[in-house]
Structure 1
Amino acid sequence: MIKEFPKISIIIACLNEENYISECLESLLMQDYDGDFDIIVSDGGSKDKTIEIIQILQINNSKIKLINNPNKIQSAGRNIAIESSDAEYIAYIDAHRLAEKSWLSNLWEVYETKTQADLKIVGVGSVHYDASKTNFSKAQEIAFQSLMSGAGSGNFLNKKTVEKVDHACMCLYNKKIITDVGLYDESLPVGEDIELNHRLTILNDYNLYLNPGAINYYHPRKDFSSLLMQQFNYGYWRQIVIAKLRSANKLNSLQMKKIEGMQLKTYIPALFVLFIVLLFIMSFFIDYAFYSYWIIVLIYLFILALASVFYWIINKVSPVNLIIVFVAIHFGYGSGVLTYLFNLKKIRR
């Protein structure tokens, strides 16, 4: 069988990414994909040196195209880039990431192979690892792959072989299919990627695969407060994504079961945070609540300490940083879910 290598557009939506955009683009220019590809950067009006850096790289690289994203947010930027592409396939990557040399070719290899037997294939996703190589960033990489953050064997980050998944990151897609289902939801400033993947796989019965051999690297949050806010936004907007999925017309029982399962999973950190907050308030008025609160907190910290020591032994990562990261994930995400459930923040449509 003769292998085909169609043109692929790599799309990037960016805003004020002067620290990372050069590294990202240079990694993409070095891709070993045997076919033609271009790189479409959709900038949301950067005020730093992002545009200047891109324009300098354009001088000697005709593959790079720079377009304007007047709506600023990532979902709109990706849609504009997709619509400007003349390729049959697109692959997206974030500006604060870089790709291994074989990232694009490994995505296409699995797509081409699966297409021979799967008429419902829509795309192939990749896995990511830490690019910053700091103690705090390494702790995040380990934490997000662990059971303590809710990432079991079903999580795409823990896959070891090519498998069918409901969600993955930095994916290659058939452009016609994602265009037909409506592209990215531009009402979502956060979570637009997971919403599209679930709309494709759960609501429209397309198949998305994960290739753990397709690797990219990302720069995670630099400190506790920024990680806490990231997780808050993930928890909050995840509820909006789920609400959008639930509102789809004519859901069958299997589709509803998957959506309800996702929602129940998000309630676990939310209920924990709610319990801790209520117990803390009650501790000012009821003696047993005071003692119960501190017992629960100490048990929680003890469990985190045990888990962190375990991961330290296995992965040589700072247990103190792991504890800090776990707390940020649990309380940030849980607080975001609670904020949505109690309607404490105005929902942007």
Structure 2
Amino acid sequence: MMQQNSHPKVSIIIPCYNLEGYIDTCLNSCMVQSYQNIEVLVVNDGSSDGSKAIVDAYARRDGRIRPIHKSNEGVALARRTGILEASGEFLFFLDGDDTIEINAMDALVQEALEKGADMVKGEYSLETAAGYRDQKYGRYGVYDRLDFLRQMLKERLFPLWGILYSRRLFSEDLDYQAGIKRGEDAALLALLVSKAQKVVLLEKVVYYYRSRPGSITRDVSLTNFGDAILSRFKMEEYALKAGLDKKNDFELAEFICFSVVLYLKYAHAAPEIDPSLIKKKIKSYLMDNEAFRRAYKKGSRKNYLRLKYFYTMSLSDRTFGWAYKLNIAR
């Protein structure tokens, strides 16, 4: 899977849109990497602020930084542009308002070569009001694709960033989920994992994640909520194709059931989703799966009843809430 070159090139891909207050710090963290064999592809996605000038200035200072200026088409196509232009044996995604640890690439490449892994995921540190706080998942080690998919669905390990990828995962026919305006990164990650043979979860912070108001990836509103649900169904599609099973993989069943509960709570924000599709999901994962149904009813009784009553009576979430309070649904 991996070439024997002890210092393979890493392509760091940075989508950038109106980040003049952040992109310099991001690029500085790339320039000081202890691992030298890198290229930094900054895809300026039609920024209207001073981002272009800043990126061009950094490129003049360091020949490893390569600006790619294009019209605004969204982060999915910006990411695709960077991938197509990349020349490295490994790829790494970095948001333009975040930074990476000084020895991040060293640690990730070493682990990939030693373990023969297609993907190596490091830990990250989250910006808070008091500074940065490390996020720890636990259960570190080597996974095959199915075990990592299960872990990913269970722990909600959805960011594309903070992971070193083998170039071989990015085939010419790769679906970049450009039609999805929210959650396209999670869907793409599930697709990449489904193509991997070996994944490593590394107990080392390599990424510093900035919580920035106005960022799409930090958006908790109902904007493009339908796409967020459809991206989860895309993840389901890739997980099933990879070999997970609807009846026996409870991590997948719980993930889809929770996704359906989210839909029921905010269905008004996703009129494009056909309720009959939701009923099909409930039937296949809950109603037709006795073992999971017992476990879900015991561990998430309210959500279980919400799904059951929507399936049998098309009870809206608001109506269900009143019924539940009045003990009708108990």
TM-score of the aligned structures, taking structure 1 as reference length:
0.63
Query: Is 2:43–2:69's contact at 8 Å kept on the other side of the alignment?
Result: yes
Aligned residue for 2:97? 96
Residue equivalent to 1:36: 37
CA-to-aligned-CA distance 1:196-223 (integer Å, 9 cap, x gap): 2211334x45333222314211211449
Alignment of 1:282-301 (within 5 A): none
1:239 to 214, 225, 229: 229
Matched residue, 1:72: 73
Q: Give the 3-state SS of the residue equivalent to 2:170 in structure 1.
A: helix
Aligned equivalents of 2:221, 2:121: Cα separation in 1: 22
Q: CA deviation at 1:234?
A: 8.5
Offset of 1:272 from its aligned partner? Answer: 6.6
Cα distance per residue 1:71-126 (max 9 Å; x no partner)? 531111111111112222211111110011011111111111111xxxxx421122
- The residue number in structure 2 matching 1:122 is 118
1:179 shift after superposition: 2.4
- Whether contact under 8 Å (2:47, 2:72) holds in the other structure is no
Structure 2 residue 115 is the aligned partner of structure 1 residue 110:
no
Q: Which amino acid aligns with 1:158?
A: Y
Secondary structure in 1 aligned to 2:61?
Answer: coil
Listed as ranges, the gaps of 5+ residues in structure 2 are 268-305, 307-315
Per-residue displacement from partner, 1:20-61 (whole Å, max 9, x unpaired)? 10000001101111x511100001110111111112222211
- Name the amino acid aligned to 2:162: M
Provide the residue aligned with 1:159 in structure 2: 138
Note if contact 2:118-2:196 (Cα within 8 Å) is conserved in structure 1.
no
What's the C-alpha RMSD, in Å, of the aligned pairs? 3.7
Given that residues 102 and 214 in structure 1 are in contact (C-alpha distance below 8 angstroms), is that contact kept between their aligned partners in structure 2?
Answer: no
Larger CA deviation: 103-112 vs 259-268: 259-268
For the 8 Å contact 1:242–1:259, the answer to whether it is kept is no
Deviates further, 58-67 or 186-195 = 186-195
Greater relative CO (CA pairs within 8 A, separation 6+): 1
User: How far does residue 267 in structure 1 lie from its aligned partner after superposition?
Assistant: 3.9
Q: How many angstroms apart in 1 are the aligned matches of 2:126 and 2:264?
A: 30
Aligned positions, number: 260
Q: Equivalent of 2:19, from 10, 17, 20?
A: 17
Correspondence for 2:129: 134
Aligned to 2:181: 189
> Alignment partner of 1:32: what SS?
coil
Task: Give the letter aligned to residue 24 of structure 2.
Answer: S
CA distance in 1, matches of 2:166, 2:239: 24
- Structure 1: 4+ residue segments shifted above 6 A: 225-228, 272-277
Range that drifts further, 236-245 or 45-54 = 236-245
SS at match of 2:41: strand
TM-score (normalizing by structure 2): 0.66
Structure 1, unpaired ranges of 5+: 116-120, 146-156, 293-349
- Secondary structure, aligned partner of 1:173: strand
Return closer, same or farther for 1:188/1:252 CA change in 2, 3 Å cut-off: closer
Cα distance change, pair 4–229 in 1 and its aligned pair in 2 (3 A): closer
SS of the aligned residue for 2:253 comes to helix
Q: CA deviation at 1:10?
A: 0.6
Q: Does 1:260 align with 2:256?
A: no
Q: Hey, what's the Cα distance between the residues in 1 that align with 2:322 and 2:258?
A: 27
Q: Distance in 2 between matches of 1:103 and 1:228?
A: 23
Q: Distance in 2 between matches of 1:161 and 1:281?
A: 40
In 2, the alpha carbon distance for the partners of 1:240 and 1:107 equals: 32
Greater mean deviation of Cα atoms: 7-16 or 210-219: 210-219
Inter-partner Cα distance in structure 1 for 2:40 and 2:114? 24
Aligned-residue sequence identity (percent) comes to: 19
